[in-house]
């Protein structure tokens, strides 16, 4: 390393300058906050446009500027940077757009400050839980998410099923039976087509060859956050309690064991082996390519699937299958909350921005543009819902065929999503959630890759509890 | 370091001594070892064991020792000392240490005591707090390799270093030389010390045995190892100094232990008095669970994509390790058992890491929310790529670190980089297809020069092999291979001052020059050679020779996950594997751990300590080295500087890995100037190139996150631009000519060497400047390829970024036909396509484009920008002797 003797004075100079600049922007004590409000977020802010449009709209109305700092692309990278910079006490952000699973950790690490007031009753009850920790509110729900069951409406209909399965057992049977019959028929068709083909080459037409094999289901089983989500949902579907703080007590161990055994059973019977390497995008690709009858995925993939399969005709979405005992259809809640950074020099501006971005009109805009809104009012029928003040998005004006029906501006899955959200539950709310998730990923993926079906729940539950307690 | 004091606890010492053998030479001196040790261990001065706590066992049959082990492991609660003195044997590979008892014979395993299977299994079940094992036998040093324990804290003293026999056992009276030394230390203590700990004993023995020699003529050096503990254990309270008084708790413990008949009475009285109190306390305790743990200190670990999976595993193991959850002296801020540190592991290509450190002020500035738009820094967005501000960086080799240091400003950078030394090695290799076995070339120790001529197709009836190297710009493996090719060409060691010969660089690059011969990293390169890869081509595989590391080649051969290729069921078929050839004196990847300090961090000191603690654990044979070795890396040198051979659990031991464990690990010795000169030499050996980026800017790109992906990929390609590597950026459709399908917008004309206008244009598009009518791909491509074919730069390519071809319905029949004809005509203009959105590379049209132009199609995904950059980086290397399409053997 080059001489620290030169580095240290330079550092001091920089520090002094930084303080001076900070002082200037913050202004003399009695004056209002100055300078742009710094909002730190993952890059998805720029991909959809609606969140950026909402921010620009607020800037226009208030005359205050917002500067967006783009964080690392991956959620893990975003969390790591925000947490470590917060611990080092030098982040300089005002508003943080954080994953709902991070609330407890960021609150306890002193990275975000308490919101200070209660959230109004319009926010969905399940979603509000993700902003709570230790009896206080730490942020405001920005957008939420719930897992849905995508299914091939056309094929299921052809084989006599007009309703999606109501529980996981039914799903497995339906998937196994329909996929087998479908593949038999496809094999027969392609042999006869082969025989019927003569000298005419299939030049320029579709890539030709056999129809891809149809599998029963795809889901996210690669060892990453998606596997934790699928594991929790499977445990809940077997009687697991989303509010339980320990996996080793009472019926939790049994539910966890049954849950992971169910996933393995589905993997070995109706899913392709490749599912152990699938994330949201990859599983959507399989489903959209016509290689699976069912898929567990978030609503955000709806548009991509609809690009290949005809929405409402070839495929549709439903709530996840329910648990046999009480019929509850529980999904893990996804989404993001907006929180004020502990270091913020512009807390009032930050608060005003967050309130605007999560207000009833803004949430309606989010819903219309493909996000899951966090407010009940956004889901009211058109006419009764708040009005989104934004002009239609560029994409909506776009090429022929790409536009959504202008009359009813909510996406077609909205009613299903609304029901799913009301039944959805947050992941374990712990300052040590990240380690818990790593434990689940490592152990469950080992288990899915193993040949035997040795029970792992006792060890997994113990390690999960250790992880959640912060102990090794 | 705390010392474990077992005084007054139920301790046990099991002394297994075998002096009489039925089939092996007797060891008369061992007879006295037992008596001597017992005398000292039970002496009042030692103050640890009582006479009845010491068991002497002289087994004839293995079960006798087993029975004794079973007994002491069940009885000891405090300290358990297990001592063996006798003959020892190992298997042909130096593993599987067998302790020999009276009836033992060579080659009769059932008549011996297996260290690994029997002794350690018993000890792992012991109920003692601490276990200390002393082995005095031939090959005692080999015990370390199998030394494992799931939970029990164990310390192991081995009489000599690995693979050594010892001349001992026939000394005159008073026991063997080694045990005699042990006895003396325990009996008399050490001057200046109040007691003798395990570590003290090891240290003193080393000093006292230093004048002795093993049968191999080197210094006799006792070794030690530990499992699940960092504490020290007191083995004797003898001291030549004034002896401190025995603490009250020890005296109480002894009193309690010695008077069993009092116990019941005391217990009853206490029970009567304390029961109500205890009950209320229990209620209180149940309510107040152990104190909550605060979030652990978050460390950001930046590494190369190749090392990311392994380091992720190691980091997770560390988080859950005892070392990370044990209270530390002076850092008692955490409740007991809480994790102190957590790590997030992420990776980025080498050039982006370099750019990140070069723009560290911006990295820090972004993180501080400071001003973003200084014009010089435009385009670099370090917080997005490479990612978070690292607390530690583990590049593939020291060369990467030296190269990054040179791009950093001499002063004023907010980042401080400190090299703490290597954590894992992997020698560099060139993989030779099994079918092309080089009979006249040794796998180990052949200079590069001979490897190059041995594979150039002029020898025997063999065809030339196509050498594939990861890009030296994007990959650490690629850079270090280039250093090896340029500086160790003749096989002589790389000195600190050597300069690359231009002719050597030129001729090496000629052998490597082939379009598509570079990849962003070694794993993606190998992934493209897998039999199950997209567009797999057996002919191409059999004619390729990848320049990679031993670790990644072993992963490939064994069918383990390699880059974006998932793990297979088992090893590849022999014909699909590559044998590792180790060019002579080429330095190995050494993965140095670079600590990164950031100016202004309020927690700089604990952060630094946390990084150092993790670094120590990574280098610890009982810690991170296990994970690293199990993943196919070679370990760091032990205390005496010897490079360890991969031990148990290393995939390199499998014959199907096709590695050669005799290949030496060559440390990195070149200096920063040399690295810079090699990079300059590489640049010079490149030919001028030209790339035309053709970007679909129709509104359908706005959907599904396609636009940011397209802009990111195009931006990554722009980073490859330089004086000799010019570009153009065209978009289509052209808003000015909605009715002309072949109209393109020449946003940046072909031949530009400045990436700035390109970046500005991408910024504009990223903000949504899209065109509302469909993109007619084939028409636009025809214009682009036509213009490039006319350009006088010899090496060129089109980078096509598109979601779908919207022009097909209205297209005249001859457009496609004439495009294909144009693509096939010389000079070659490969089309490198990135497909986003609905279509995939499997689509007929994109397959056709790649085939006709000898280009490639890259599927969308997180790796796409780097894959594309790797391909673009090799455009300039095309055009040499092997670069003509005919010599390409396929693509």
Write the DSSP assignment of B275-335 as a string of letters.
HHHHHHHHHHHHHSPSPPPPPPEEEEEEE-GGGHHHHHHHHHHHHTSHHHHS-BTTBTTSP
Which residue from B530, B554, B525, B552 is spatially nearest to B541, judged by alpha carbons? B530
Interface confidence, given as ipTM, is: 0.85
Please tell me if residue A202 touches chain B, with a CB cutoff of 8 Å. no
For residue A126, the distance in angstroms to the closest alpha carbon of chain B comes to: 25
Measured between its terminal Cα atoms, the distance across chain A in Å is 35
Same domain, A280 and A390: no
Distance, CA of B704 to CA of B87 (rounded, Å): 71
Q: What residue in A sits closest to B293 (Cα-Cα)?
A: A470
Of the residues A37, A68, A87, the best mutation for testing chain B's interface (the one with the most B CB atoms within 10 Å of its CB) is A87
The 10s digit of each residue's pLDDT in B289-345 is 677 899 999 999 999 999 999 999 999 999 999 889 887 766 556 787 899 999 999
Measured between beta carbons, the chain B residues lying within 8 angstroms of A40 are 369
Same domain, A141 and A152: no
> What is the edge-to-edge ordering of all strands in the sheet holding A148-151?
A215-218, A292-297, A148-151, A316-319
Instruction: Say which range, A7-21, A153-167, A283-297, B794-808, has the weakest mean pLDDT.
Output: A7-21
Measured between beta carbons, the chain B residues lying within 8 angstroms of A431 are 292-295
Same domain, B263 and B202: no
Same domain, A133 and A153: no
Place of tokens 């309270």: B237
Tabulate helix, strand, coil % of chain B (nearest 5): 40, 20, 40
pLDDT at B428: 98
In a domain, A373, yes or no: yes
Same domain, A74 and A122: yes
Contact between chains at B704 and A69 (C-beta distance less than 8 A): no
For residue B813, the distance in angstroms to the closest alpha carbon of chain A comes to: 11
In a domain, B558, yes or no: yes
Contact between chains at A89 and B603 (C-beta distance less than 8 A): yes
Q: Are B179 and B137 in contact (CB under 8 A)?
A: no
Give me the domain span that covers residue A164: 148-191+213-220+275-330
In a domain, A412, yes or no: yes
User: Looking at the predicted structure, is the pLDDT value of residue A251 above 70?
Assistant: yes
Query: Which of residues A384, A401, A423 is at a domain's end?
Result: A423
Q: What residue in A sits closest to B324 (Cα-Cα)?
A: A472
Same domain, A63 and A129: yes
Query: Which of residues A305, A330, A355 is at a domain's end?
Result: A330
pLDDT tier, A408 (very low <50, low <70, confident <90, very high otherwise): low
Same domain, A56 and A108: yes
In a domain, A1, yes or no: no
Element (H, E) at A107: helix A103-108
For residue A468, the distance in angstroms to the closest alpha carbon of chain B comes to: 9
Contact between chains at A398 and B702 (C-beta distance less than 8 A): yes
In a domain, B655, yes or no: no
Same domain, B14 and B144: yes
The 10s digit of each residue's pLDDT in A335-361 is 999 999 998 999 999 999 999 999 999
For residue A363, the distance in angstroms to the closest alpha carbon of chain B comes to: 20
Same domain, A284 and A138: no
Same domain, B75 and B130: yes
Closest in A14, A69, A109 to B366, CB measured = A69
3-state SS string over A70-99? ECCCCHHHHHHHHHHHHHCCCCCCCEEEEE
The 10s digit of each residue's pLDDT in A89-131 is 877 899 999 999 999 999 999 999 999 999 999 999 999 999 9
pLDDT tier, A396 (very low <50, low <70, confident <90, very high otherwise): very low
In a domain, A346, yes or no: yes
In a domain, B703, yes or no: yes
CB < 8 Å from B in window 54-93 of A: 67, 69-74, 76-77, 79-81, 83-85, 87-93
Measured between beta carbons, the chain B residues lying within 8 angstroms of A346 are none
Measured between its terminal Cα atoms, the distance across chain B in Å is 62
User: Looking at the predicted structure, is the pLDDT value of residue A136 above 80?
Assistant: yes
Closest in B293, B342, B704 to A471, CB measured = B293
Please indicate whether residue B276 or residue A235 has the higher confidence score (pLDDT). Answer: A235
Distance, CA of B234 to CA of B46 (rounded, Å): 10
Closest in A307, A402, A469 to B293, CB measured = A469
In a domain, A9, yes or no: no
How distant, in Å, are the alpha carbons of A30, A463, B662 from that of A207?
71, 49, 50
Q: Which residues contact B647 (CB under 8 A, 6 or more apart)?
A: B145, B629, B635
Distance, CA of B198 to CA of B235 (rounded, Å): 6
Closest in A87, A399, A463 to B700, CB measured = A399
Contact between chains at B370 and A469 (C-beta distance less than 8 A): no
Query: Which of residues B651, B679, B707 is at a domain's end?
Result: B679
Calculate mean pLDDT across residues A248-268: 88
Number of domains in chain B: 5
Same domain, A294 and A185: yes
For residue A3, the distance in angstroms to the closest alpha carbon of chain B comes to: 9
Of the residues A398, A467, A468, the best mutation for testing chain B's interface (the one with the most B CB atoms within 10 Å of its CB) is A398
The 10s digit of each residue's pLDDT in B665-712 is 999 999 889 999 999 988 888 888 899 999 998 888 877 678 888 998
Query: Which of residues B615, B648, B679 is at a domain's end?
Result: B679
Residue B735 DSSP class = T
Same domain, B275 and B173: no
pLDDT at A397: 38
Long-range Cβ pairs for the range B602-610 (8 Å, 24+): B602/A88, B602/A89, B602/A90, B603/A87, B603/A88, B603/A89, B603/B297, B604/A88, B606/B297, B606/B331, B607/A88, B607/B297, B607/B299, B607/B391, B609/B331, B610/B297, B610/B299, B610/B340, B610/B341, B610/B391
Measured between beta carbons, the chain A residues lying within 8 angstroms of B384 are 43, 70-73
Query: CATH number of the domain that B797 lies in?
Result: 3.40.50.410
In a domain, A24, yes or no: no
For residue B700, the distance in angstroms to the closest alpha carbon of chain A comes to: 7
Of the residues A85, A210, A224, the best mutation for testing chain B's interface (the one with the most B CB atoms within 10 Å of its CB) is A85
**0.90 exceeded by pTM:** no
pLDDT at B875: 81
Contact between chains at B346 and A46 (C-beta distance less than 8 A): no
For residue A25, the distance in angstroms to the closest alpha carbon of chain B comes to: 11
Of the residues A14, A43, A53, A81, the best mutation for testing chain B's interface (the one with the most B CB atoms within 10 Å of its CB) is A81
Q: Are B223 and B192 in contact (CB under 8 A)?
A: no
Please tell me if residue A419 touches chain B, with a CB cutoff of 8 Å. no
In a domain, B649, yes or no: no
pLDDT at B541: 87
How distant, in Å, are the alpha carbons of B795, B799, B843, B849 from that of B816?
24, 18, 15, 10
Please tell me if residue A17 touches chain B, with a CB cutoff of 8 Å. no
For residue B858, the distance in angstroms to the closest alpha carbon of chain A comes to: 15
Contact between chains at B700 and A1 (C-beta distance less than 8 A): no
Residue A415 DSSP class = H
Same domain, B160 and B42: yes
Same domain, A54 and A90: yes
Same domain, B82 and B162: yes
Same domain, B627 and B739: no
Measured between beta carbons, the chain B residues lying within 8 angstroms of A281 are 861
Q: Are A243 and A442 in contact (CB under 8 A)?
A: no
Same domain, A176 and A288: yes
Weakly modelled stretches of chain B, pLDDT under 50: 372-378, 878-891
In a domain, A180, yes or no: yes
Same domain, B266 and B322: no
Same domain, A389 and A293: no
pLDDT at B380: 65
Place of tokens 């026991």: B175
Give me the domain span that covers residue B548: 428-588+663-679
Q: Which residues contact B634 (CB under 8 A, 6 or more apart)?
A: B424, B425, B426, B427, B550, B588, B643, B644, B646, B652, B665
Contact between chains at B290 and A469 (C-beta distance less than 8 A): yes
Closest in A1, A207, A395 to B416, CB measured = A1
Which residue from B714, B813, B827, B819 is spatially nearest to B761, judged by alpha carbons? B714
Q: Are A375 and A357 in contact (CB under 8 A)?
A: no
Same domain, B505 and B475: yes
pLDDT at B45: 86
Same domain, B92 and B229: yes
Same domain, B477 and B561: yes
In a domain, A203, yes or no: no
Number of domains in chain A: 3
Question: DSSP secondary structure string, A340-393?
Answer: EBTT-S-HHHHHHHHHHHTSHHHHHHHHHTTPEESBGGGGSPTTTSPPP-SPPP
Same domain, B488 and B627: no
Same domain, A283 and A246: no
């Amino acid at each position: 390393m080059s001489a620290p003797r030169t580095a240290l004075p330079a550092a001091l100079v920089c520090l002094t300058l930084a303080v001076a600049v900070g002082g200037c922007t913050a202004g003399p004590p009695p004056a209002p906050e100055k300078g742009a409000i710094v909002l730190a977020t993952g890059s998805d802010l720029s991909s959809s446009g609606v969140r950026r449009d909402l921010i620009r709209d607020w800037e226009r109305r208030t005359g205050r500027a917002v500067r967006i700092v783009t964080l690392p692309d991956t959620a893990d990278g975003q969390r790591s940077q925000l947490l470590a910079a917060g611990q080092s006490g030098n982040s300089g952000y005002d508003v943080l757009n954080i994953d709902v699973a991070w609330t407890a950790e960021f609150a306890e690490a002193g990275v975000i400050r308490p919101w200070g007031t209660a959230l109004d009753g319009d926010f969905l009850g399940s979603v509000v839980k993700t902003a709570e920790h230790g009896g206080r509110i730490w942020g405001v729900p920005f957008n939420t998410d719930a897992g849905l069951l995508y299914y091939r409406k056309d094929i299921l209909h052809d084989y006599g099923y007009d309703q999606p399965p109501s529980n996981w057992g039914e799903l497995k049977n339906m998937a196994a039976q329909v996929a087998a019959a479908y593949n038999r028929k496809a094999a027969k068709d392609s042999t006869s087509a082969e025989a019927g083909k003569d000298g005419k080459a299939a030049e320029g037409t579709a890539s030709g060859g056999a129809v891809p094999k149809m599998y029963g289901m795809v889901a996210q089983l690669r060892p990453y956050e998606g596997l934790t989500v699928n594991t929790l949902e499977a445990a809940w579907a077997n009687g697991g309690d989303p509010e339980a703080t320990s996996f080793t007590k009472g019926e939790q161990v049994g539910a966890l064991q049954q849950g992971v055994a169910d996933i393995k059973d589905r993997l070995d019977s109706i899913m392709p082996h490749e599912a152990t390497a699938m994330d949201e995008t990859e599983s959507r690709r399989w489903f959209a390519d016509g290689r699976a009858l069912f898929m567990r995925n978030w609503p955000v993939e709806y548009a991509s699937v609809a690009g290949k399969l005809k929405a409402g005709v070839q495929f549709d979405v439903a709530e996840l299958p329910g648990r046999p005992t009480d019929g509850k259809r529980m999904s893990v809640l996804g989404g993001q909350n907006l929180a004020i950074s502990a270091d913020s020099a512009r807390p009032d501006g930050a608060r005003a921005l967050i309130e605007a971005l999560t207000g009833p009109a803004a949430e309606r805009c989010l819903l219309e543009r493909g996000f899951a809104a966090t407010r009940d009012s956004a889901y009211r029928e058109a006419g009764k819902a708040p009005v989104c003040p934004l002009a239609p998005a560029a994409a909506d004006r776009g090429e022929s065929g790409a536009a959504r029906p202008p009359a009813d501006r909510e996406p077609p899955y909205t009613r299903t999503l609304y029901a799913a959200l009301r039944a959805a539950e947050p992941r374990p709310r712990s300052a040590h959630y990240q380690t818990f998730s790593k434990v689940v990923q490592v152990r469950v993926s080992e288990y899915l890759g193993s040949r035997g079906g040795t029970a792992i729940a006792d060890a997994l539950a113990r390690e999960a509890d250790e992880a959640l307690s912060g102990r090794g | 370091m705390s010392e474990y004091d077992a005084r007054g606890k139920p301790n046990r010492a099991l002394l297994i001594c075998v002096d009489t053998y039925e089939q092996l030479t007797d060891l008369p001196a061992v007879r006295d070892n037992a008596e001597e040790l017992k005398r000292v261990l039970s002496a009042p001065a030692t103050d640890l064991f009582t006479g009845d706590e010491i068991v002497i066992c002289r087994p004839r049959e293995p079960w006798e020792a087993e029975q004794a082990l079973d007994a002491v492991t069940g009885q000891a609660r405090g300290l358990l000392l297990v001592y063996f003195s006798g003959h020892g044997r190992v298997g042909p590979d130096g593993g599987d240490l067998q302790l020999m008892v009276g009836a033992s014979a060579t080659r009769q395993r059932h008549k011996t005591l297996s260290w690994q299977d029997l002794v350690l299994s018993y000890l792992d079940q012991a109920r003692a707090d601490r276990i200390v094992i002393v082995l005095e036998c031939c090959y005692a040093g080999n015990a370390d390799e199998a030394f494992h324990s799931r939970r029990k804290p164990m310390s192991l003293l081995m009489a000599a270093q690995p693979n050594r026999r010892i001349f001992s056992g026939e000394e005159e009276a008073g026991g063997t030389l080694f045990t005699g030394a042990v006895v003396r230390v325990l009996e008399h203590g050490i001057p200046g010390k109040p007691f003798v700990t395990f570590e003290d004993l090891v240290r003193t023995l080393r000093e006292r045995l230093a004048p002795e020699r093993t049968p191999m003529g080197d210094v006799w050096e006792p070794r030690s190892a530990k499992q699940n503990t960092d504490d020290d254990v007191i083995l004797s309270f003898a001291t030549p100094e004034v002896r401190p008084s025995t603490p009250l708790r020890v005296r109480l413990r002894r009193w309690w232990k010695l008077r069993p008949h009092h116990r019941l009475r005391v217990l009853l009285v206490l029970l009567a008095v304390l029961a109500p109190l205890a009950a209320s306390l229990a209620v209180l305790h149940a309510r107040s669970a152990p104190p909550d743990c605060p979030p652990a200190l978050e460390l950001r670990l930046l590494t190369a994509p190749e090392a990311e999976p392994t380091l992720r595993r190691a980091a997770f193991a560390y988080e859950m390790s005892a070392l990370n959850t044990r209270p530390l002296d002076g850092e008692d801020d955490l409740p007991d058992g809480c994790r102190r540190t957590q790590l997030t592991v992420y990776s980025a290509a080498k050039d982006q890491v370099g750019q990140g450190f070069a723009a560290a002020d911006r990295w820090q500035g972004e993180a501080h929310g400071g001003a973003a738009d200084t014009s010089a820094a435009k385009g670099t967005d370090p917080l997005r790529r490479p990612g978070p501000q690292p607390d530690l960086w583990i590049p593939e080799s020291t060369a990467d670190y030296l190269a990054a240091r040179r791009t950093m400003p001499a002063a004023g950078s907010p980042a401080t980089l400190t090299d703490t030394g290597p954590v894992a090695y992997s020698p560099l290799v060139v993989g030779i297809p099994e079918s092309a076995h080089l009979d006249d070339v040794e796998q180990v120790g052949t200079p590069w020069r001979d490897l190059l001529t041995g594979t150039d197709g002029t020898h025997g009836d063999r065809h030339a092999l196509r050498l594939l190297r990861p890009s030296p710009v994007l990959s650490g493996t690629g850079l270090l291979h280039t250093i090896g090719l340029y500086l160790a060409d003749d096989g002589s060691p790389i000195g600190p001052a050597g300069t690359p010969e231009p002719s050597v660089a030129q001729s090496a690059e000629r052998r490597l020059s082939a379009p598509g011969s570079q990849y962003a990293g070694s794993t993606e390169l190998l992934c493209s050679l897998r039999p199950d890869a997209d567009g797999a081509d057996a002919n191409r595989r059999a004619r390729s020779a990848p320049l990679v590391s031993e670790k990644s080649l072993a992963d490939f051969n064994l069918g383990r996950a390699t880059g974006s290729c998932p793990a297979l069921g088992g090893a590849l078929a022999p014909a699909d594997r590559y044998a590792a050839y180790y060019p002579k004196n080429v330095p190995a990847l050494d993965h140095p751990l670079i600590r990164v300090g950031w100016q202004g961090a309020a927690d700089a000191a604990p952060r630094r300590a946390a990084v150092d603690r993790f670094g120590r654990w990574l280098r610890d044979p009982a810690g991170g080295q296990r994970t690293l070795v199990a993943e196919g890396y070679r370990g760091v040198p032990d205390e005496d500087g010897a490079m360890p051979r991969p031990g148990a659990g290393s995939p390199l031991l499998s014959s199907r890995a096709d590695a050669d464990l005799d290949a030496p690990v060559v440390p990195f010795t070149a200096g920063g100037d040399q690295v810079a000169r090699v990079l300059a030499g590489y640049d010079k050996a490149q030919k001028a190139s030209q790339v035309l980026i053709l970007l679909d800017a129709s509104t359908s790109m706005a959907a599904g996150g396609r636009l940011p992906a397209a802009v990111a990929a195009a931006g990554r390609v722009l980073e490859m631009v330089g004086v000799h590597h010019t570009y153009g950026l065209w978009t289509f459709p052209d808003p000015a000519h909605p009715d002309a399908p072949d109209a393109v917008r020449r946003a940046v004309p072909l031949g530009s060497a400045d990436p700035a206008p390109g970046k500005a244009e991408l910024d504009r598009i990223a903000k949504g400047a899209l065109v509302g009518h469909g993109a007619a791909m084939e028409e636009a491509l025809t214009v682009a390829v036509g213009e490039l074919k006319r350009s006088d730069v010899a090496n060129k390519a089109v980078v096509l970024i598109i979601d779908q071809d919207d022009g097909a319905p209205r297209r005249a029949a001859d457009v496609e036909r004439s495009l294909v004809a144009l693509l096939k005509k010389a000079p070659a203009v490969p089309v490198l396509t990135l497909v986003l959105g609905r279509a995939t590379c499997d689509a007929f049209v994109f397959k056709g484009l790649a085939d006709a132009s000898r280009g490639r199609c890259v599927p969308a995904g997180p790796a796409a920008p780097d894959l594309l950059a790797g391909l673009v980086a090799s455009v300039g290397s095309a055009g040499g002797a092997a670069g003509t399409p005919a010599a390409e053997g396929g693509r």
